[in-house]
Chain A
Amino acid sequence: MNLQERLAAGDVRALARLLTYAENDYPEAEEVIKNLYGRTGRAYVIGITGPPGAGKSTLTDKLAKALRARDNTVGIIAVDPTSPFTGGAILGDRIRMQELFTDPGVFIRSMGTRGHLGGLSKATQAAVRLMDIFGKDYIFIETVGVGQSEVDIVKTADSVVMVMVPGLGDDIQAIKAGIMEIGDIFAINKADLDGADRTKIEIEMMLDLNENKAWRPPVCKVVAVENSGMDILLGHIQEHRTFLSESGELVKRRARNIRNELMDLVRDRVMEFITRETGKKLTVDDLVQRIVAKDMDIYSAAQYIMEAINK
């Protein structure tokens, strides 16, 4: 059997190998996704995001267990940062998910960002599709620990859970633009710490100021290490899912995400094309050298590249 047939038949090693191909930009992964595209779109994709140390991995572990107890299969994509200096990475999200390793209904894949900004890796979407084709009911995407503007998850997930912890900042932090705007559900983790109620009130206030009231994100307190509050959180995720389906937002949201992904894909291919085609006369590096030496200005160089595309 080839990889595609093995994936369709539920072979774990085939899924693992295709994920590697997707990460390494090898054409095999793209071929398989193309051929089995009709099987995508069945899994429900949950994004887990929040600042470093908020407890994203632990929370993902507990939510996955709760879903397994309801007989759902689960895929987890856990993203950690790649060093911009060496290209290496320590992928440590599995440390909090040990009991899931040997559960045949769970597949966990750790990924480095490999230079991609925005909190995910470039291959995340392909990885979601492969797990979806494989037949997972739910797919979690755990982002890198985010700061204030890594919002790629909202372009990839159906529901985004924003994991917060008490004591990270005042109410002005909560009304800044950026990651606070992308949560569909807010989970205040480590809610046994001082300040949890205050954090909850600040987030509630911020949410009440939002114009769009069709879905008002719920805010719940959880203590992931003690497995406390998981049923409530999972309930909120299901409510959001129901809201998306019944309001027609799910279709719109997925269409918007596909549009974004399509544009990113085209942008990447155009960049590859430029690097390849421009190189026939002046390479991009040549152009850069000329601009640095003031033999050319940056706008003329851009024009030069555009002309190379138009030919």
Chain B
Amino acid sequence: MDKPIRVLVAKPGLDGHDRGAKVIARAFRDAGMEVIYTGLRQTPEQIVETAIQEDVEVVAMSILSGAHNHLFPIVVNMLRERGADDVLVVGGGVIPDDDIPVLKEAGVAEIFTPGTPTTKAIEFIKQNVKRK
């Protein structure tokens, strides 16, 4: 069997809604990935430290509070500072279309908004992940 892709599913920010994150974690699991799930209200420091210790290939963040423009780029930059620039960062949640180009510019590889089939996110990861 292929070595499983390791993904960190993280909830930055202060909103308390992780249904979406859990659905996506479960879908990733069913797609044969190893999903590290860390629970709600993670600081960027916690997310980056976890990504490094767990040596994940993907960080998937979900945010519903509107703080994505602030928090997603911080995580991307902190990963780069720690030399983990090979990690694929994707985001999901309630994110206005206008914000998506800005986030991609900041280094988020893709944004998945509500209604996206989980298979689309899985396909994107499989095609873009850098295997170790």
A17 CB → nearest B CB, Å = 6
A residues near B39, Cβ cutoff 8 Å: 94-95, 98
B residues near A91, Cβ cutoff 8 Å: 34-37
Encode contact with A along B30-68: 1 for CB under 8 Å, 0 otherwise: 111111111100110110011011110000000000000
Q: Does B19 contact A (CB under 8 A)?
A: no
A residues near B25, Cβ cutoff 8 Å: 90
A59 to B88, CA, bound (A): 33
B residues near A52, Cβ cutoff 8 Å: none
In the complex, how many residue pairs between chain A and chain B have their CB atoms under 8 Å apart? 90
B113 CB → nearest A CB, Å = 24
Q: Does A92 contact B (CB under 8 A)?
A: yes
Number of interface residues of B (CB under 8 A): 33
Given the interface contacts A16-B53, A20-B55, A101-B46, does A90 sit within 8 Å of B29 by beta carbon?
yes
Q: Does A88 contact B (CB under 8 A)?
A: yes
A residues near B6, Cβ cutoff 8 Å: 20
A23 to B37, CA, bound (A): 19
Given the interface contacts A83-B29, A87-B32, A88-B30, does A12 sit within 8 Å of B4 by beta carbon?
no
A residues near B50, Cβ cutoff 8 Å: 94, 101, 108
B47 CB → nearest A CB, Å = 9
Q: Does A86 contact B (CB under 8 A)?
A: yes
Q: Which of A13, A20, A107, A110 contacts B36 (CB 8 A)?
A: A110
Given the interface contacts A13-B84, A102-B45, does A109 sit within 8 Å of B54 by beta carbon?
yes
Q: Which residue of B lies closest to A92 (CB)?
A: B37
Taking a contact as CB atoms under 8 Å apart, the answer to whether B4 and A88 are in contact is yes
Q: Does A89 contact B (CB under 8 A)?
A: yes
Q: Which residue of A lies closest to B55 (CB)?
A: A16
A92 to B55, CA, bound (A): 15
A283 CB → nearest B CB, Å = 18
* Residue of B2, B3, B42 contacting most chain A CB atoms (<10 Å): B3
Q: Does A112 contact B (CB under 8 A)?
A: yes
Q: Footprint of A on B, CB under 8 Å? A: 1-4, 6, 25-26, 28-39, 42-43, 45-46, 49-50, 52-55, 82-84, 132
Q: Footprint of B on A, CB under 8 Å? A: 12-13, 16-17, 19-21, 23-24, 82-83, 86-92, 94-95, 98, 101-102, 107-110, 112, 114
New contact pairs (12) apart from A12-B53, A102-B45, CB-CB < 8 Å: A20-B132, A82-B34, A83-B29, A86-B30, A86-B32, A87-B4, A90-B29, A94-B39, A98-B46, A108-B50, A109-B54, A110-B34
